[in-house]
Structure 1
Amino acid sequence: MKIDRLISIIMVLLNYERVSAIKLAKMFEVSPRTIYRDIETISLAGIPIVTHNGVNGGISIMQEYKIDKKLFTVSDISTLLMGLASVSTTLSNKEIIGTLEKVKSLLPKEQFRDIELKSNQITVDLTTWMGNKSFQPNLEKIKKALSDSKYLLFEYYGVNREKDKRCIEPYKLVLKERNWYLQGYCTLREDFRVFKLSRISNLEILESTFVPREFQAKPLDGSGWIDKRLITTKLLVDWSLREQMVERCGEENIEPYGNDKFIVDFPFVEDDFGYNILMGFGDKCECLAPENVRIELINRIKKLLHVYGN
């Protein structure tokens, strides 16, 4: 029995005067017998359920029951639809599409157009223009393993470029700064670890299941590892990069310099990834300090020039 289905049934009954068990069964993709069991559970929880026999019969909540049937405002439902639509761009599957349609089916007819208009005013699309075609299948495998508490087996490239096999208990999937991360218990390291999906290959779900252990999600804010390596660089950047700098550094770390440039205090980790970020800004950015970072950038630019010079 799913608690989310019970809550959804209550919401349907609060929005409609009377709904048949068959209609509820179709809406939630279960059998009428399951719906009747759910209705019994809802009734035992203290919510007064009324059943009506006959051609126009169905299930309803007693009219005098003290719950405001306008539990969701137009703004609330618009926000729900925007959130679901945003998730569907990244985890597009039948479940989310079905959920979108179910939420839409709850809308009062007289407010449908207004809510649909508001929900379409903002779109959050987290997908890339061109991406790895294997990501979506891997995401679906991970979601299934999370749902069924099954082990995941895969090959993983570490930061040292070495590849080893990992078997983990998956616990959480996280999308952060356009990268997917999987948090789980690694049987090799006998500890909780975070795995970047772009470093995972040959992913498969094992038949064996595990008993979920106590899990506390690791904050992906760099605490404990990135923050210890962070230094501040001073950059001279062109106006065209201002938006990117505001997103990465915050308005308070940007100062005007002349008519079309800015001085930026930029957080930086001195590794390949960090240098690639700075070099990605091209000729619109110059590193002023510290001196060792500036020198390393010059050396990397010379190597790049040598590659293209040949």
Structure 2
Amino acid sequence: MIQTSARLLQLLSLLQVRREWTGPALAKRMGVTERTVRRDIDKLRNLGYPIHASPGIAGGYQLGAGAQLPPLLLDDNEALAVALGLNSVAAGPVAGIGEASVRALAKLEQVLPSRLRPKFAMLKAAVTTLPSNAASVDPQQLTVVSAAIADKRQLSFDYVKADGDAGRRLVEPYRLVDTGRRWYLVAWDVDREDWRTFRADRIATLPAERKKYVPRPLPAEDLADYVQRSVTRSPYRYDVVVRLHAPIGDVAAVVGPQLASLSDDGGSATLLRAGWDSLAQPAAHLAALDMDFEIISPEEFKEYARTMAGRLEKAAGKRALRAEAPPQ
């Protein structure tokens, strides 16, 4: 009986880590016959686990979604990762998820093995997440988009642009990217025949799944970097490049990835690249950093800085000269 229970737990664990398994692959992995796999699948179904089977040579077993969530099998590191994730996601930008995270965390803490509780308490006390003021995202939207990415299905939804203009979009979704403050969807826009980056909080309707698509080459190997360049530079009128005379670590501490992209420039300097629609905005942000810097491009920004320097000098008034006593 103990051996059978251990085998069922092993089978359930395998079904949870991969989308679909063939019978022979499960039998080989578990060191049993295919007949034993079929019997164990039936036992798990009797326990309430919704396991779907597809016939044929290419068929297999898949753990589906049921009316009730069955228990999950987690090893020590997975349990700690989930607990810490629930603890930090309560302050995240996903709407309505905070209270649910607290409830789930309470359930998980209740069943954590005693050997893990001191480590989790230590990690929990050491990690603090600042609340975000970013626009919230419907978690159901993220779920639908994630499923479409996994199944390679097109999505259609209403999207509101920054200027308030709304329209229907048909896309091939490829990746969701979390910048910490916002979620972005990298997708191929079918009607515009080009890659687009969509802010998830501007998706105005629940995305609807359409037909399957054949994956195309991605616009970049690193989609997180692609999104950062898209949201910090490409949509704007001016592409500003500035050299800050400070190490990249010091600059990164005060300039977030959603504002600009940073690169090391010789150890003691940092190159900052960001897009802006108004030159007054980067001038104000850079002045507030309290770091020496020089403008590399564009030329319009250099001219604007010269004008502002003269205006500020005039506003401050001329510096009074101290009278010096004539030499004796």
Tell me the TM-score normalized by structure 1: 0.52
Q: Indicate conservation of the 8 Å contact 2:242/2:293, yes or no.
A: yes
**In structure 2, C-alpha distance between the alignment counterparts of 1:182 and 1:32, rounded to whole Å:** 39
1:290 match: secondary structure: strand
Partner deviation per Cα, 1:32-57 (whole Å, 9 max, x = no partner):
5433969xxxxx99xxxxxxxxxxxx
Structure 1 segments unaligned to the other structure (5+ residues): 12-29, 39-43, 46-68, 256-263, 305-310
The equivalent of 1:82 in structure 2 is: 84
2:245/2:293 contact within 8 Å kept: yes
**2:302 corresponding residue in structure 1:** 294
- Cα distance in structure 2, aligned partners of 1:178 and 1:125: 12
Match of 2:49 in 1: 35
Alignment pair present for 1:233 and 2:239: no
| CA apart distance, 1:164 | 4.3
Q: Quick one: distance in 2 between partners of 1:298 and 1:162?
A: 36
Please give the alpha-carbon distance, in whole angstroms, between the structure 2 residues aligned to 1:150 and 1:97. 34
- In the alignment, the residues of structure 2 paired with residue 182 and residue 246 of structure 1 have an alpha-carbon distance, to the nearest angstrom, of 19
Larger of the two Rg values belongs to structure: 2
- C-alpha deviation, 1:120, in angstroms: 0.3
Q: Which residue of 2 aligns with 1:107?
A: 112
Name the CA distance, whole Å, in 2 between partners of 1:150 and 1:234: 42
Q: What amino acid is aligned across from residue 143 of structure 1 in structure 2?
A: T
Q: Label 1:108 to 1:123 Cα distance change in 2 as closer, same or farther (>3 A).
A: same
| Paired residues of 1:81 and 1:119 also in contact (CA < 8 A) | no
Other-structure match for 1:152: 156
Kept in 2, the 8 Å contact 1:156–1:164? The answer is: yes
Relative to 1, partners in 2 of residues 1:272 and 1:177: Cα closer, same or farther, differing over 3 Å? Answer: farther
Q: Distance in 2 between matches of 1:100 and 1:209?
A: 35
Which residue matches 1:214? 215
Residue 280 of structure 1 and its aligned partner are, at CA, apart by 1.8
**1:57-96 pair list within 5 angstroms:** 72=76, 77-90=79-92, 91=94, 92=97
8 A contact 2:262–2:270 mirrored in 1: yes
Which secondary structure does the structure 1 equivalent of 2:13 belong to? helix
> Is the Cα contact below 8 Å between 2:176 and 2:184 reproduced in 1?
yes
Tell me how far apart the structure 2 counterparts of residues 279 and 158 of structure 1 sit (CA, whole Å).
22
Give 1:95 deviation, angstroms.
7.1
2:183 aligns to what? 180
Deviations 1:247-267 (A, max 9, x none): 864676563xxxxxxxx4332
Q: 1:10 to 1:89 in 2, by over 3 A?
A: same
Checking the alignment, whether the CA contact within 8 Å between 1:154 and 1:167 is kept in structure 2 is: no
After superposition, the C-alpha distances for 1:252-286 in whole angstroms (9 at most, x for unaligned) are 6563xxxxxxxx43322464378634522435245
The DSSP-based 3-state class of the residue aligned with 2:137 is helix
Query: What is residue 59 of structure 1 aligned with on the other side?
Result: none
Q: Call closer, same or farther: CA 1:184–1:9 in 2, change over 3 Å.
A: closer
Alignment partner, residue 272 of structure 1: 277
Q: Matched residues in 2 for 1:98 and 1:31: separation?
A: 28
Q: Distance in 2 between matches of 1:126 and 1:230?
A: 30
Q: Distance in 1 between matches of 2:169 and 2:309?
A: 37
Choose between structure 1 and 2: higher helix proportion.
1
* Residues 1:143 and 2:139 are matched in the alignment: no
Change (3 A) 1:35 1:188: same
Contact kept, 8 Å, 2:156 with 2:210, in 1: the verdict is no
1:117 aligned residue (111, 118, 121):
121
- Cα RMSD after superposing both structures: 5.0
Contact 1:150 1:205 in 2 (8 A): no
What secondary structure is seen at the aligned counterpart in 2 of 1:174? strand
TM-score norm. by structure 2 comes to 0.50
| Alpha-carbon displacement from aligned partner over 1:10-47 (angstroms, at most 9, x marks no partner) | 99xxxxxxxxxxxxxxxxxx985433969xxxxx99xx
Select 2:204's aligned residue among 189, 202, 205.
202
* One-letter code aligned to 2:117: R
SS at 2:91's partner residue? Answer: helix
Structure 1 150/166 Cα, relative in aligned 2: closer, same or farther at 3 Å?
closer
Gaps of at least 5 residues in structure 2 are: 1-10, 18-43, 53-59, 62-72, 313-328
Taking the aligned partners of 2:162 and 2:50, their CA distance within structure 1 comes to 52
Residue 289 of structure 1 aligns to a residue in which SS? strand
Q: CA deviation at 1:233?
A: 2.2
Percent of residue pairs identical: 13
Name whichever structure is richer in strand by fraction. Answer: 1
* Equivalent residues of 1:82, 1:122 under 8 A apart: no
CA contact (8 A) 1:145 1:170 kept: yes
Structure 1 distance, partners of 2:75, 2:140, is 33
Q: Is the 8 Å Cα contact of residues 245 and 270 (structure 2) preserved in structure 1?
A: no
Number of residue pairs the alignment of both structures matches: 233
- Superposed displacement of residue 85, structure 1: 2.8
